[in-house]
Chains A and B, each alone.
Chain A
Amino acid sequence: GAVVSQHPSWVICKSGTSVKIECRSLDFQATTMFWYRQFPKQSLMLMATSNEGSKATYEQGVEKDKFLINHASLTLSTLTVTSAHPEDSSFYICSASEGAAYEQYFGPGTRLTVT
């Protein structure tokens, strides 16, 4: 149980384009989903927290207009990187939770490369 998937597992896009990453909870309803970014040899950094049906809460320094998060259902959240630039190249990981009092389960990650 508690499986979280991400799609795609890797993506290459050109600078200036937008790319969407999906995060799905496969066997439970995720009231809350989280998006993390991880640069090489660094730990995960929380970008934003989203509750189903509500606007996402972004961490300080994360541009909400650049990283659009939608959590329209209890099993799906999407992260759209708009007007991507090479510095956005990173490993993006989502996690899902049944609520604030419940454990986060991590997805397998999406490797984004912006050329």
Chain B
Amino acid sequence: EAGVAQSPRYKIIEKRQSVAFWCNPISGHATLYWYQQILGQGPKLLIQFQNNGVVDDSQLPKDRFSAERLKGVDSTLKIQPAKLEDSAVYLCASRIAGGNTGELFFGEGSRLTVL
């Protein structure tokens, strides 16, 4: 079974530029999460989708971050314009629909460096 796929693995941009990250969850997983993991910290939830609807985006900085999951499968997270403090690893995770434990499956992450 293929795991959660993310791209790109690494991205370096200047501040005020834009960047987009892509995630393809495990087939059949209805719930998709984007987390931000700053060096030395735990993952912080940015947004949670159930199929193509948003369940929680309370910690998404909506003035610069956006995310979509148009067909309920893959998802894109965009940052525009980027700030220095956005340097982090962006993790995508998915969860099987109907599972009662909440176990998440993670991709390898996309590491963003903002200069």
A and B interact: no
Q: Which residues of B contact A (CB under 8 A)?
A: none
